[in-house]
Amino acid sequence: MNEICRMSAVELAQNIVRKELRAIEVVDAMLARIEECSNVHAFVCTVAEQARQAAKKVDQDLHSGQDGLPPLLGIPYSAKDVTNCAGVPTRYGSLALPAFLPSEDNLAVSRAKVAGAILLGKTATPELAHKAFTYSPLSGLTLNPFHPEVTSGGSSGGAAVAVALGMGPIALGTDGGGSVRIPAACCGVVGLKPSIGSLPDHQAQDLFGVTAHAGPLARSVADIRFFYRELEGGHIHDPYSQGRRPALRELHSLKGVRVAWLLKCGNKEVDTEVERLSKAAVNTMQDLGAIVEVVELDFARLEPHFLVLMESRVARSLRALDEKSLSKVDPSLLTHYDRGVSHTAMDYMDALSERATAFRQVQDVFERFDVIASPTMSAPPLAHAQDPHGSVIINGNETGRVRAEWYPYTMAFNLTGHPAISIPCGYTNSGLPVGFHLAARWYDEAYLLDVAEILEKELAVPTLSM
């Protein structure tokens, strides 16, 4: 079982097509691994019988010699429990909101199915995916695979833990402020947030104000690429997917790649070990021929405006709940709700104005540079006891609130819409993973993945032993 669970998606695909592994063996191994690791609370449910039936169909098609088989044939994956999967309840990590039974797949799930991937189940999320710590009233605390006392990140914490511990080679998360990249960094895996519109969300309630995007997590950039290329592409109901994509720039080395280096972005502190490891990563890029230059951007200042947009959505999502139902809501989400109902139209318009300013500032950087590099977060995974609304202690100093001081690097690119990825860049002296963050121009995911994969191979950070 463990040998199968250690395999990459690319390796599994090759073995299944060559009939060296049966799809049912792969699915059974992953389901057994999910059961074995149930104590970490990565999954809220599995669809075991559905997955086994899909795997048997794959094996039958291969046995009959059917032509034109899809590229992800038999590859197991999971979906975060804010993502609609037809016939599977969407619970949003909530005991207060009624479960929703969708009749239609989210577009990413639909495309994964067409490409031959097999859904294993739904992964844990904080309630309404509202914070960077994966705890919810529904599924409890999702444990970090490296240390039981620190967070797995969020809000796609269940997805990151599932991938790190071999409960599927790929997971589908969502990212509204870093929610794919933060848990990827906390759990030592890779996480991609695409551009707005690259992987459309045709079910989004606010098509024009969207800041959250579906994105994959995996143990390697190669697996991210393998999965993501089957998901991306426009959709008639997504306004941001209507434009033309840039011409593909095939990249075989980092020689001449222009890198804007951002150690801080308005945050007060960077943990000394995070600084050491992220500087080593950007120096490696330079050693490989990249042209690195320090730039200044203040992303921390965006936090109050980010919160206005986010909290307004939270208020809308919870507005129909009565007092009894509201008492079941995660207290940290309830704080956002209380703020959200007090935001004015002027607050909202000011936030949109600041979002536009941030976009222009990042676009100006991309006039001169190919990628923006930074730490994924200013510190390693924080303790479970960290107050999501409280001040963060970094290098022994009290800094400020979590979004502005721990992950301003990720939050900003949800507002500007640019694609971004987190890859592992090493471990602290206490064995906690640290992520390195790269962002690129809109719709330039292929170029971003090339840069990330070249750097990943050179850094050669070992993955978690299973």
Q: What is the 3-state secondary structure (H, E, C) of the chain?
A: CHHHHHCCHHHHHHHHHCCCCCHHHHHHHHHHHHHHCHHHCCEEEECHHHHHHHHHHHHHHHHCCCCCCCCCCCCEEEEECCCCECCECECCCCCCCCCECCCCCCHHHHHHHHCCCEEEEEECCCHHHCCCCCEECCCEECECCCCCCEECCCCCHHHHHHHHCCCCCEEEEEECCCCCHHHHHHHCCEEEECCCCCCCCCCCCCCCCCCCEEEEEECCHHHHHHHHCCCCCCCCCCHHHCCCCCCCCCCCCCCCCEEEECCCCCCCCCCHHHHHHHHHHHHHHHHCCCEEEECCCCCHHHHHHHHHHHHHHHHHHHCCCCHHHHCCCCHHHHHHHHHHCCCCHHHHHHHHHHHHHHHHHHHHHHCCCCEEEEECCCCCCCECCCCCCCEEEECCEEEEEHHHHCCHHHHHHHHHCCCEEEEEEEECCCCCEEEEEEECCCCCHHHHHHHHHHHHHHHCCCCCCC
Please check whether residues 196 and 332 belong to one and the same domain: no
Specify the pLDDT at position 189. Answer: 98
Amino acid at 401: R
Euclidean distance between CA atoms 218 and 188, whole angstroms: 10
Please check whether residues 17 and 121 belong to one and the same domain: yes
Give domain status of residue 246, yes or no: no
Sign (positive or negative) of CA dihedral 124, 127, 128, 129: negative
The pTM assigned to this predicted structure is 0.97
Give domain status of residue 252, yes or no: no
Give domain status of residue 251, yes or no: no
Give domain status of residue 464, yes or no: no
* Domain containing residue 23: 2-241
Query: Based on the structure, what is the number of domains in the chain?
Result: 2
Specify the pLDDT at position 451. Answer: 98
Mean pLDDT to the nearest integer, 296-317: 97
Specify the pLDDT at position 413. Answer: 98
Specify the pLDDT at position 256. Answer: 97
Specify the pLDDT at position 166. Answer: 98
Cα→Cα distances 359→43, 199, 245, 356, Å? 36, 19, 18, 5
Please check whether residues 271 and 416 belong to one and the same domain: yes
Mean pLDDT to the nearest integer, 193-222: 91
> Percent of the chain having pLDDT more than 70?
100
Please check whether residues 262 and 352 belong to one and the same domain: yes
Average pLDDT, the chain: 96
Please check whether residues 22 and 149 belong to one and the same domain: yes
Q: Domain holding 77: CATH number?
A: 3.90.1300.10
Specify the pLDDT at position 201. Answer: 81
Mean pLDDT to the nearest integer, 70-95: 97
In this predicted structure, which of 163-167, 200-204, 251-255, 382-386 has the lowest mean pLDDT? 200-204
Please check whether residues 346 and 312 belong to one and the same domain: yes
Please check whether residues 333 and 361 belong to one and the same domain: yes
Closest-CA residue to 300 (of 279, 333, 269): 269
Between 68 and 59, where is the model more confident? 59
Q: How confident is the model at residue 65 (pLDDT cuts 50, 70, 90)?
A: confident
Please check whether residues 158 and 18 belong to one and the same domain: yes
What is the rounded end-to-end Cα distance, in angstroms, of the chain? Answer: 11
466 pLDDT above the threshold of 80: no
Specify the pLDDT at position 219. Answer: 98
Query: Which residue's entry shows tokens 């990825």?
Result: 421
244 pLDDT above the threshold of 80: no
How does pLDDT run across 395-449, given as a tens digit for each residue? 999 999 999 999 999 999 999 999 999 999 999 999 999 999 999 999 999 999 9
Q: How confident is the model at residue 206 (pLDDT cuts 50, 70, 90)?
A: confident
Please check whether residues 201 and 66 belong to one and the same domain: yes
Mean pLDDT to the nearest integer, 238-254: 83
95 pLDDT above the threshold of 80: yes
Which of 241, 272, 296 lies at the terminal end of a domain, its last residue?
Answer: 241
Which of 210, 241, 272 lies at the terminal end of a domain, its last residue?
Answer: 241
Closest-CA residue to 155 (of 221, 342, 138): 138
Q: How confident is the model at residue 137 (pLDDT cuts 50, 70, 90)?
A: very high
Mean pLDDT to the nearest integer, 239-254: 82
In this predicted structure, which of 31-45, 51-65, 196-210, 341-355 has the lowest mean pLDDT? 196-210
Mean pLDDT to the nearest integer, 308-324: 96
Specify the pLDDT at position 88. Answer: 98
Specify the pLDDT at position 203. Answer: 75
How does pLDDT run across 355-391, given as a tens digit for each residue? 999 999 999 999 999 999 999 999 999 999 999 999 9
Q: How confident is the model at residue 252 (pLDDT cuts 50, 70, 90)?
A: very high
Please check whether residues 294 and 441 belong to one and the same domain: yes
Please check whether residues 223 and 289 belong to one and the same domain: no
248 pLDDT above the threshold of 90: no
Please check whether residues 105 and 12 belong to one and the same domain: yes
Give domain status of residue 253, yes or no: no
Mean pLDDT to the nearest integer, 305-320: 97
Give domain status of residue 247, yes or no: no
Q: How confident is the model at residue 242 (pLDDT cuts 50, 70, 90)?
A: confident
